[in-house]
Copies of this chain bind each other. A is one copy, B any other.
Amino acid sequence: MSAVPDHRPAADTPEGTPNPTRVTVWNENVHERTQPEVAERYPAGIHGAVAAAIGEHLGPAASIRTATLDEPEQGLPPDVVDTTDVLVWWGHLAHDRVDDALVERVRERVLGGMGLVVLHSGHFSKVFTRLLGTTCALRWRNGDDRELVWTVDPRHPIAEGVPSPLVIDRQEMYGEFFDIPAPDELVFVSSFTGGEVFRSGVTFRRGHGRIFYFSPGDQDYPVYHHPDVRRVIANGVRWARPDQPVGPPPELRRSPVGWWDEEPATSPGDASPGSAR
């Protein structure tokens, strides 16, 4: 885990200067350590490539660190999760090795407002399937398909500056049926050389947090070096950034009659975040 000096909340300071978004890029980091060709493709790891992509687009607006499965507490001890505004997740071979307690910690943080960007094979991660509830199963083929990523929501912030189609020359195929809940927003739809289609960029809101899933990217192809893919990931982080400080998940709340007449919106949650009352 790389050190980052200051991890203040993402919410803007009273002076109007926004604090940088505290981004943590998590990667299981297995392929890179076991397959030389992957290590060669991603010398800094997939997490390193993704972190660099975010940094090159967001600049000082993001404070970025990385974390991997082989680190203590799987790279995400409470103090890291609790100081993360947007978590980026990459996993493939080791989904089952992620502790259930960590999954629950991440889920609670998302429900409390943290953004989550899930990439590619992360569709089967515990974190993603636990938050969505479905299997997130899909159709696939590792066969050197060309992927075309088409924008179907051109004014979505995540599509900003992204060509349509975004052309990826060689890529793994992910196809429908993709077993996810109907997304809150459908941003991208991909086609492949073989003719398959896939809802490749989708958003979900869960609790107070925003989730973006983006399917392009693979250990076997240099997709995370693709400039447009890098832009989409950075856009996704920017979009998922909480507007307000992250707090606990929503809680059961007992309400006497007319509580708002007695004590107008003084306790957290009685007003929306950021209330001036």
Spell out A's residues near B (CB within 8 Å): 107, 111, 113, 124, 130-135, 137-141, 143, 146, 148, 150-155, 157, 159-165, 167, 173, 175-179, 181-182, 184-186, 189-197, 199, 204-208, 210, 242-244, 249-258, 260-261, 264-265, 269-277
Contact = CB atoms under 8 A, between A and B. Distances in A.
B255 A173 contact: yes
Nearest to A129: B133
A89 to B, nearest CB: 15
Given A124-B252, A194-B257, 12 more contacts: A135-B249, A137-B249, A137-B253, A143-B256, A150-B175, A152-B178, A157-B243, A160-B274, A164-B177, A164-B272, A191-B191, A197-B197
Nearest to A124: B252
Contacts of A173: 255
Contacts of A275: 161-163
Nearest to A130: B133
A135 B111 CA distance: 8
A150 B251 contact: no
A48 to B, nearest CB: 24
A271 B163 contact: yes
B194 A258 contact: yes
A163 B257 CA distance: 16
Contact of A254 (B140, B257, B270, B272): B140
A256 B192 CA distance: 12
A275 B228 CA distance: 10
Nearest to A250: B179
**Number of copies of this kind of chain in the complex:** 4
B244 A155 contact: yes
B271 A179 contact: no
19 contacts: A113-B155, A124-B252, A133-B133, A134-B207, A134-B250, A139-B252, A141-B255, A141-B256, A146-B195, A148-B195, A151-B176, A159-B272, A160-B273, A161-B271, A164-B270, A173-B255, A175-B255, A181-B181, A182-B186
Nearest to A152: B176
Contact of A176 (B113, B146, B189): B189
A206 B133 contact: yes
Given A134-B206, A143-B257, A257-B194, A161 B276 contact: yes
Nearest to A252: B137
Nearest to A159: B272
A177 B154 contact: yes
